[in-house]
C-alpha cells in the first residue's frame, strides 16, 4: 500500500518580481514527494504574515490543519521549506504526525536513489549532518543520565549528549572516507588529463532531461524517468566527435532550488567533476514555465562550488524539450539561437525525440576546437614518441612520407596552440613545425580569433 502525504507550502511576505509562483513551488514539492512513491491526499499553500518561532504557522492554522490530518490520517506531513528543530518538534506534537521539511524530503530522495558506495557515503553524511541539528530535548529519554566513568564518578552525561557525541564520531569517520574518495577522484582526473580525453559534463535542473540526452548520445541505458532526481550517481562514457576527437561525457545529479547545504557539502567530491570539466552542457527544460529561474538556480550552485572560477567560457546552453513548445515560441527560440552564430549556444534539441542531436554534437565539436589551428609538422619516421604525441593530442588530417627514402613524415594536424607550444618545447630539436594557412589563404591569427569569439559571446 502506498504511503500518503500532506504537502504544505508557505510564503512569507510579498512576492518579489521574477520569483517563482506559489503554484509552481507547490507543483515541485508534490513532484519531490511523488519521487519516493508518496501519494498526495491533500495540499495547501499558506500565506504567512510572519513565521512563528515555535510552530511556523499561527495557532488557528495549526488547529485547522490538525482537523484535516485527523480526517485523512496521512503517513507524513511535508512542509515545503525549512523548519527549525523546535518547529518540527512542536508541529509533530500538535498534529500527532510525522513532519518532514524540504531538506529532509530531498535527503530521503537521495537516500532512496544512491546506488554506489560513494553515493551512499555522501547521502549518509548529509543525513547525519541534518540529524545532528535535529537533536533537541523533545523526549524525556534524552534527559536521562548515564553513569559516570573514572575515579571522580560524577553525574555522567545525558543521553542527548551521548547521541551528539556518537553522531559527531560517525560524521568524522564518514568525512575521512569521503576525503579518500576525493583524493581518488583527483587522481582519476589527473590520469584523464594525461590520456588526454576532455570531459564534457551534463548539468541542469532536476528532470531537465540530462539522462535522456546522455542515453541518446551514448546508448548507456542510464535510468531516465519523468521523476525529480531520477539520476544520483554520476556515469561516464566515451564518445567520438565528428573530427575524431574522443571525449568523456559525464551525467551528473540534477540541481534544484534551495538545494540543502548538507548535500552540497557531502557531494562536493562528485560535483567537483562538473566545475573541473572542459565543457559544461547546461541542459534546460525550455518548455517549463520557470526555465529562467531554474537556470539561475543551476548557476548559483556552480558559483558556490567554484566561487573564484569564471565558468561562462566553458558553458554551452542546451534548450531541451522543444517538442513541447508551441510552434510560435519554438520559432522565436530558433531565430534567437541562429542570431548568436557561435558554438556557445543555445542549441535547440529534443532528447526524447532525438531531434537535432547532430547539431548539438557539431556545436560541441566546434566549441572544443575553437582555439585550434592547422600546423604542418615534419618529423623522422623513427621518432615514434613524437608521432604518438601528435596523434594523442591533436587531429591528424593527413600523413605522408617525403624524401627519396621516406624516412621523414609530413603531418598536417589540427591542435590547440597550447599543445603546439608543448610539442615544440618537447620535440622541437627533432621536428620542424610551421603554421599552415587558413582555408581562406590568411595565416591563422589565434589572438584575433579568440577576441572575436569572446565579443560574439558577450
- Percent of the chain past pLDDT 70, that is, above it, reads 77
Q: Is the pLDDT of residue 148 over 60?
A: no
Q: Which residue has the cell 540534477?
A: 254
pLDDT score at 136? 52
Q: Is the pLDDT of residue 361 over 80?
A: yes
Q: Per residue in 55-89, pLDDT tens?
A: 999 999 999 999 999 999 999 999 999 999 899 99
Angular region, 106: left φ>0, alpha ψ -120 to 50, beta rest: alpha
Q: Per residue in 9-53, pLDDT tens?
A: 998 876 655 567 888 889 989 988 988 889 999 999 999 988 999
pLDDT score at 188? 64
pLDDT score at 454? 35
Average pLDDT, rounded, for the chain? 78
In this prediction the pTM is: 0.71
Q: How many residues does the structure list for the chain? A: 458
Beta bridge partners, 200, equal 249, 279
Q: Per residue in 260-297, pLDDT tens?
A: 776 676 666 667 778 888 899 999 999 998 999 999 98
Q: Can you say whether the dihedral through the CA atoms of 130, 136, 142, 147 is positive or negative?
A: positive
Q: Which of 30, 60, 63 is nearest to 45 (CA)?
A: 30
Which three-class secondary structure string do you get for the chain? CCCEEEEEEEEECCCCCCCCCHHHHHHHHHHHHHCCCCEEEEEEEEEECCCECCCECCHHHHHHHHHHHHHHCCCEEEEECCCCHHHHHHHHHHHCCCEEEHHHHHHHHHHHHCCCHHHHHHHHHHHHHHHHHHCCCCCHHHHCECCCCCCCCCCCCEHHHHHHHHHHHHHHHHHHHHHHHHHHHHHHHHHHHHCCCCEEEEEEECCCCHHHHHHHHHCCCCCCCCCCCCCCCCEEEEEECCCCCEEEEEECCCECCCCCHHHHHHCHHHHHHHHCCCEEEEEEECCCCCHHHHHHHHHHHHHHHCCCCCCHHHEEEEEECHHHCCHHHHHHHHHHHHHHCCCCCCEECECCCCECHHHHHHHHHHHHCCCEEEEEEEEECCCHHHHHHHHHHCEEEEEEEECCCCCEEEEEEEEEHHHHHHHHHHHCCCCEEEECECCCCCECCHHHHHHHHHHHHC
Average pLDDT on 209-229 reads 71
Q: Is the pLDDT of residue 356 over 90?
A: yes
Task: Among 48-57, 74-83, 234-243, 380-389, name the one with the lowest average pLDDT.
Answer: 234-243
pLDDT score at 277? 85
pLDDT class for 159, splitting at 50, 70, 90?
low
Of 180 and 213, the structure prediction assigns the larger pLDDT to: 213
pLDDT score at 211? 86
Of 300 and 180, the structure prediction assigns the larger pLDDT to: 300
pLDDT class for 143, splitting at 50, 70, 90?
very low
- Contact residues for 138 (Cβ-Cβ < 8 A; gap 6+): 89, 93
Q: In the numeric block, which cell numbers belong to residue 392?
A: 594523442
pLDDT score at 146? 40
Q: In the numeric block, which cell numbers belong to residue 397?
A: 588530417
Q: In the numeric block, which cell numbers belong to residue 309?
A: 572560477
pLDDT score at 16? 56
Torsion of CA 174, 176, 178, 183, to 10 degrees: -170
Average pLDDT on 115-126 reads 76
Average pLDDT on 346-353 reads 92
Q: In the numeric block, which cell numbers belong to residue 207?
A: 528532470
Amino acid at each position: 500500500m502506498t504511503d500518503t502525504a500532506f504537502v504544505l507550502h508557505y510564503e512569507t511576505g510579498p512576492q518579489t518580481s521574477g520569483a517563482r509562483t506559489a503554484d509552481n513551488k507547490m507543483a515541485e514539492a508534490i513532484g519531490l514527494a511523488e519521487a519516493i512513491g508518496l501519494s498526495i491526499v491533500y495540499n495547501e499553500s499558506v500565506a504567512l504574515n510572519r513565521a512563528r518561532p515555535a510552530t511556523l504557522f499561527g495557532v488557528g492554522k495549526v488547529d485547522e490543519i490538525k482537523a484535516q490530518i485527523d480526517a485523512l490520517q496521512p503517513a507524513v506531513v511535508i512542509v515545503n521549506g525549512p523548519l527549525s528543530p523546535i518547529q518540527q518538534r512542536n508541529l509533530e506534537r500538535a498534529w500527532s504526525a510525522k513532519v518532514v521539511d524540504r531538506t529532509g524530503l530531498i535527503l530521503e530522495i537521495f537516500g532512496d536513489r544512491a546506488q554506489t558506495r560513494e553515493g551512499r557515503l555522501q547521502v549518509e553524511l548529509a543525513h547525519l549532518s541534518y540529524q545532528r541539528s535535529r537533536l533537541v530535548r523533545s523526549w524525556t529519554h534524552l534527559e536521562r543520565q548515564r553513569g559516570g566513568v573514572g575515579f571522580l564518578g560524577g553525574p555522567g552525561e545525558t543521553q542527548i549528549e551521548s547521541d551528539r557525541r556518537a553522531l559527531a564520531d560517525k560524521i568524522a569517520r564518514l568525512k575521512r572516507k569521503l576525503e579518500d574518495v576525493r583524493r581518488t577522484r583527483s587522481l582519476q582526473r589527473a590520469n584523464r588529463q594525461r590520456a588526454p580525453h576532455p570531459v564534457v559534463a551534463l548539468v541542469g535542473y532536476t528532470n531537465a532531461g540530462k539522462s535522456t540526452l546522455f542515453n541518446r548520445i551514448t546508448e548507456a541505458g542510464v535510468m531516465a524517468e519523468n521523476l525529480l532526481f531520477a539520476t544520483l550517481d554520476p556515469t561516464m562514457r566515451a564518445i567520438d566527435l565528428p573530427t575524431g576527437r574522443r571525449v568523456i561525457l559525464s551525467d551528473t545529479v540534477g540541481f534544484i532550488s534551495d538545494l540543502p547545504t548538507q548535500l552540497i557539502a557531502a557531494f562536493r567530491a562528485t560535483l567537483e567533476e562538473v566545475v573541473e570539466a572542459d565543457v559544461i552542457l547546461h541542459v534546460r527544460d525550455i518548455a517549463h514555465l520557470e526555465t529562467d529561474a531554474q537556470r539561475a538556480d543551476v548557476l548559483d550552485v556552480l558559483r558556490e562550488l567554484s566561487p573564484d572560477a569564471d565558468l561562462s567560457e566553458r558553458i554551452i546552453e542546451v534548450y531541451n524539450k522543444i517538442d513541447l513548445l508551441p510552434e510560435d515560441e519554438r520559432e522565436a527560440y530558433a531565430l534567437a539561437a541562429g542570431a548568436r552564430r557561435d558554438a556557445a549556444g543555445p542549441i535547440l534539441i529534443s532528447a526524447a525525440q532525438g531531434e537535432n542531436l547532430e547539431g548539438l554534437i557539431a556545436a560541441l565539436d566546434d566549441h572544443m576546437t575553437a582555439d585550434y589551428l592547422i600546423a604542418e609538422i615534419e618529423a623522422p619516421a623513427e621518432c615514434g614518441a613524437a608521432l604518438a604525441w601528435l596523434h594523442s593530442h591533436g587531429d591528424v588530417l593527413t600523413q605522408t612520407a617525403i624524401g627519396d627514402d621516406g624516412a621523414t613524415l609530413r603531418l598536417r594536424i589540427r591542435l590547440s596552440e597550447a599543445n603546439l607550444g608543448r610539442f615544440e618545447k618537447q620535440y622541437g630539436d627533432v621536428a620542424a613545425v610551421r603554421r599552415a594557412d587558413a582555408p581562406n589563404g590568411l595565416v591563422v591569427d589565434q589572438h584575433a580569433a579568440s577576441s572575436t569569439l569572446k565579443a560574439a559571446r558577450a
